[in-house]
Amino acid sequence: MEKAIVPKDVAKAFDIHLEYWKGQSRNAILLQFMAVPYAELGVATATLSRFALKYPETYLQAVLHGYEPRIETAGDLADVIEIWAAKPFEGDDERKDIELLAGSITKHFQI
């Protein structure tokens, strides 16, 4: 399954929790994320809790498969393109790489 596309504030809240829990096992982290929707501690936890209660499937997808912050502004899109342009092509097929970039961008607008 693909990474979940989440709002930037939710991605930042996930990042805060993952940094805090760094060094713990994957199972321990998964169990803690399962408890987040019912916890009322701190801004990052409240952000994740609201998101989890409103979009439980996307929350679980993000917990299990990872997440990407949603492209919300022209600046965000420019950042994605700049990162992509700095990478070497995968293989010899420039067209395929361009299609991969287009796919990674358009999935942000299909939500």
Domain chopping of the chain, boundaries: 4-69, 74-109
User: In which residue ranges of the chain is pLDDT below 50?
Assistant: none
Other beta carbons less than 10 A from residue 56's beta carbon:
11
pLDDT of amino acid 110: 63
Q: How far is CA 5 from the centre of its chain?
A: 5
pLDDT of amino acid 48: 93
- In sequence order, the β-bridge partners of residue 68 are 5
pLDDT of amino acid 75: 85
